[in-house]
Amino acid sequence: MSNLNNFSESDKHRTSKKDETLDNSMFNIPKDSEKGFPLLHISEQYYSFSDLIVTDEIKERLENVISENRSAEKLFSYGLKPKNKILFCGPPGTGKTLSAKIISSVMGYPLVYVMFDSILSSYLGETATNLRRIFDFIEKGKFVVLFDEFDIVGKKRDDPHEHGEIKRVVNNFMQMLDNFESRSIIIAATNHQHLLDKAVWRRFDDIIYFDLPDIKRRKQLFEKYLKVLRRSKDFTLDQLARRTKDYSAADITQICEEALRKSIINNEKIVTKDHIMWAISEQKRRKKTISPEN
């Protein structure tokens, strides 16, 4: 019982909730015909642009997508359409999913999340049916639709076993994208844009490339994510930014959280150089485990 009490005490300090799963049974969610699992997931998002640290250019392009879609009626009256098919590319952990959440939140459209992999069926032809069901669903409402890890399409293209079916899926997806008439905004995200060919690229209204953060952005990330605690005077944000060249925004988030946890568990109430250096070395170790060539 005391544990429970402790938990509710610490619960007060939780940061405000950013993702909220909507009651998905309210929607007639399309399901995979073979296995019956849901093909997409719907949630409500509570993020803002202040959550995102990227170059001004990326921010402007994201804001442009929002302002065009907000002025959709005006554009329609001139026979024009807002950009609503966007490709996000760039290395993992650079803010692609986060940006889709921000657009969903700012537009006030629920986020429809589709893991691209999950629509591939082992039955010939079923994949196309799954795709059709997803498009039928999203065309009926106003959603931000994230097709995540879209590169699976590119990745498997060279695999002789998968080749025929994947090629069909790519063609299907492209056709559906071409014929897509809806107020929903489609975002496809990939870490492997080099695997996508020109035919794929030109189907999108805009392509936004998320890069690893430069030194200025790394500094801002450390500042943002260390804010929870006071910082000791034995290090500067500049030093941290210089030590984390080639680290992604998500890496820096993890470093900060690791350092904060260490300090909080030890009841130190301040984050020191030791905490951070330890957290950086831990992140380096994790990165090595994931990709040994680093």
Ligand X SMILES: Nc1ncnc2c1ncn2[C@@H]1O[C@H](COP(=O)(O)OP(=O)(O)O)[C@@H](O)[C@H]1O
Site of interaction with ligand X (CB under 6 A): 52-54, 92-98, 210, 249-250, 253
The nearer residue to Mg ion, 29 or 115, going by C-beta atoms, is: 115
Distance CA 86, CA 277 (A): 38
Which is closer to Mg ion, CB of 102 or CB of 260?
A: 102
The secondary structure element, H or E, covering residue 112 is strand 111-115
Give yes or no for a contact between 101 and 259, defined as CB atoms under 8 angstroms apart.
Answer: no
141's contact among Mg ion, ligand X, none, with CB below 5 to 8 A by partner kind, is: none
Residue 91 CA to its chain's centroid (Å): 11
Q: How far is the CB of 189 from Mg ion (least distance, A)?
A: 6
- C-beta atoms surrounding 205 within 10 Å: 16
61 or 96: CB nearest Mg ion: 96
* 65 vs 98, beta carbon nearer ligand X: 98
Q: Note whether 271 and 230 are within 8 A (CB).
A: yes
153 interacts with, out of Mg ion, ligand X, none, CB within 5 to 8 A per kind? none
H/E element holding 108?
none
The residue (of 96 and 133) whose beta carbon lies closer to Mg ion is 96
Token match 């001139």: residue? 78
Task: Please choose which of ligand X, Mg ion, none residue 53 contacts, taking the beta carbon within 5 to 8 angstroms, the exact cut-off set by kind.
Answer: ligand X
Half-sphere exposure of 78 (CA within 13 A, CB side): 7
Binding partner selected for residue 249 from Mg ion, ligand X, none, CB under the kind-specific 5 to 8 Å limit: ligand X
| Site of interaction with Mg ion (CB under 5 A) | 96-97
If contact means CB under 5 to 8 A according to the sort of partner, which of Mg ion, ligand X, none does residue 128 touch? Answer: none
